[in-house]
Amino acid sequence: MEQKLRWGILATGGIAASFTGDLLASGLSVTAAGSRSADKARAFADRFGIAKAHGSYKALVADPEVDIIYVATPHPQHAAAAILALEAGKHVLVEKAFTLNAGEAKTLADLAREKDLVLMEAMWTRFLPHMIRIHEIIDSGLIGPVRSVQAEHRQFLPTDPSHRLNAPELGGGALLDLGIYPVSFAFDILGAPEAVSAMARFTGTGVDAEIAVNMRHAGDAMSSSVSALDCAGPNTAVIYGEKGRIEIDSVWYTPSTFKVVDYAGRLIETYDGRVEHRGMQFQAFEMERLIASGARSSSRMPIAETVAIMETLDAIRAQIGLSYPGETPAA
C-alpha cells in the first residue's frame, strides 16, 4: 500500500487548528506539530492526537517523518519559516497572505524552483467545489464574456490594540487578512490587473481598518471590492457577464451556494457547494496531488500568480501609504 504523505504543522494558532482538523477529518496524515514553545506544541499535538511535538520550527522541519510543512505563523514570519522548510527539503503550503511583499514572495519562489519542491499559497477558496463549478460555467460561455466582478469581505474583528490584527509590526490590518480574498478572486476570474486604484481608512494603531480596491483587467473588464475589519457585512460576490451573472451567497469565500441568472433575470442554475468540515482539506488534496504527480505548481493557484498578487498588494499599499515596520524592502 502506498504510504501517505505526512504533514507537519508550523505554528499552533487558530488557523492551524482549523486546517489540522480538516486534514484529519479527511483521512490525511499529520505526524508532527511545531511551535516556538514546547508547551504549546505539546498541547496542540495532544489536542489532535499528533504523535510528535517540536519546541522549535527548526526541529519540526528537520523531522524525517514529515514531508509537507504548513506555515501558519503571522504574516511577517511566513518568509523565514518557508525558507527554513524549503532548505530542509520539505514541500511547503504557506498561509495567505503569502508574504509581506512581492520581494519576499519572489525569494521563496526562486528557492522552491532551485530545490525542486512544491510551494503553494494556502488560498483555500480557489479549490472549493463551488469555485470549480463557477469556472466550468464561465468556460462554457453560459454567461458570456465576464465584464466585472464585485466582492466584499467585512468582519467585526478584535479591537484590542495589542491584537495581531491591529499591530502594524505584525502585518495587521484589513488588506492582508481580508482584502487578499477579493483581490485573489479578481485575479482568478479576470487575470492580473492592468491598473489599480485604492483608498483606505486607518485605525488609531496605524493599520488599515477598511480598504476599497478598483482594478481594470484585460478587455476593460473591471473588479471592485471593499474589505473591513471593524464592520461586518453579508460577504457576497457577483460575477457579471454579457448574458447573465453568477450570484454567490454568503459567505462567498467559504463553501457556499450560488445561482446563475440570465440577462432577463431568469434563473438558469443553482448550485450547493457546501461540504463537510470547513473545506480547507481541498488545498491539501491539491498539494498531495502535485507531489505525487511530480508537478511543481498548481494550475488553480500557480506560484507565479501568487507573486503577481503580492505585487498588486504592494501597489495598493503604495497608494494608501501603508508600510509595515521592519519589513524587508521589496526587491
The grid coordinates listed for 94 are 504557506
Residue in 229, 230, 227, 232 with CA at minimum distance from that of residue 212: 227
Our answer to whether residue 96 is catalytic in this structure is: yes
Q: Which of 4, 40, 52, 96 is catalytic?
A: 96
Long-range contacts of 268-274 (CB under 8 A, 24+ apart): 268/142, 268/244, 269/137, 269/142, 271/130, 271/133, 273/128, 273/129, 273/130, 273/131, 273/133
Q: Is 148 helix (H, G, I), strand (E, B) or coil?
A: strand
User: Alpha helix (H) ranges present in 28-179?
Assistant: 38-48, 57-62, 78-87, 102-115, 129-140, 174
Please list, in sequence order, all residues whose beta carbon lies within 8 angstroms of the beta carbon of residue 94, skipping any fewer than 6 positions away. Answer: 71, 78, 81, 82, 108, 119, 120, 121, 122
The grid coordinates listed for 150 are 464585485
The grid coordinates listed for 294 are 511530480
The grid coordinates listed for 134 are 463557477
List residues with catalytic annotation: 96
